């Protein structure tokens, strides 16, 4: 009998999506190329503390949570701007990265999801299990939130599949799965299967990759600091949530 190692190998469904999207290219090569666009964001916070300090009580972190916990009308521009500042100067924290990914998806659709996942791919590849939060269970919960209801609801706002963006999403998920599998057993490898299932359903409803109309341009511009053009004074902290399933877990 095969021993259960606790790892998360690439699922058959993700392998199927990868084969559909990458006939003559290597998905992991594409993922690494996309992640390389985020080099500035992947630099250590400091030489002595590469991942920085836990941002849990930082005013900007609490302000992002306030926005995330809104039932509607979250300021996605503000979330992106504050998340960028925190990731660059305070902490390499997967909670901040997933806030950023959601905001980009909610505002920009598949392009935002693809670029956000490329950032996460780079962070996971560069810092691995050093990423904050430091508790493995908390880090796993934060990463698996990407496959939760709030993310899937935002994805459903954009029913049309964009061929290159969709392929980049699949590439990033493939690379993340490979990276998670390499984590030690006690680091609680996360699963993003609900997101993968949703992507497979989207592609099937679109008639498959051959039926998807290619985008006008497959090039993705390097991320910029466009979210940091304006500074905001943080509001007093006070995280509230009136719904349990869609708000961010306290971890």
pLDDT tens digit string along 191-250? Answer: 999 999 999 999 998 887 876 666 544 444 445 444 333 333 333 333 333 333 344 444
Spans of all domains in the chain = 13-206
Q: Name the band, by pLDDT with cuts 50, 70 and 90, for residue 139.
A: very high
The predicted structure's pLDDT at residue 218: 40
Q: Does the pLDDT at position 189 exceed 90? A: no
The predicted structure's pLDDT at residue 187: 81
Question: Would you list the DSSP string of 158-219?
Answer: --SPPHHHHHHHHHHHHHHHHHHHTS-GGG-----HHHHHHHHHHHHHTT-GGGSPPPS---
Q: Which residues contact 29 (CB under 8 A, 6 or more apart)?
A: none
Comparing C-alpha atoms, which of 221, 224, 229 is closest to residue 111? 221
Q: Does the pLDDT at position 151 exceed 90? A: yes
Beta-bridged to residue 52, according to DSSP, are 91
pTM for the whole structure: 0.83
**Of residues 144 and 217, more confidently modeled:** 144
Q: Name the band, by pLDDT with cuts 50, 70 and 90, for residue 11.
A: confident
């Amino acid at each position: 009998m095969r021993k259960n190692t606790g790892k998360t190998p690439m699922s058959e469904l993700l392998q199927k999506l990868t084969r559909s999207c990458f006939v003559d290219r290597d998905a992991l090569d594409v993922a690494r190329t996309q992640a390389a666009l985020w080099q500035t964001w992947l630099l250590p916070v400091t030489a002595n503390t590469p991942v920085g300090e836990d941002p849990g009580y930082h005013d900007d972190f609490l302000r992002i949570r306030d926005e995330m916990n809104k039932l509607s009308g979250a300021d996605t521009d503000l979330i992106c701007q504050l998340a960028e500042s925190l990731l660059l100067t305070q902490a390499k924290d997967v909670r901040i990265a997933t806030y950023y990914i959601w905001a980009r998806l909610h505002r920009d659709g598949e392009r935002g999801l693809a670029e956000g996942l490329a950032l996460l791919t780079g962070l996971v590849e560069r810092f691995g299990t050093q990423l904050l939060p430091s508790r493995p269970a908390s880090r796993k919960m934060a990463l698996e939130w990407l496959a939760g209801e709030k993310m899937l609801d935002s994805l459903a706002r954009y029913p049309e599949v964009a061929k290159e963006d969709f392929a980049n999403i699949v590439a990033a998920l493939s690379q993340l799965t490979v990276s998670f599998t390499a984590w030690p057993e006690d680091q609680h490898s996360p699963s993003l299967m609900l997101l993968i299932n949703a992507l497979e359903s989207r592609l099937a409803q679109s008639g498959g990759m051959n039926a998807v109309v290619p985008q006008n341009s497959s090039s993705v511009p390097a991320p910029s600091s466009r979210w940091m053009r304006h500074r905001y004074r943080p509001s007093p902290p006070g995280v509230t949530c009136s719904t349990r399933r869609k708000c961010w877990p306290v971890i």
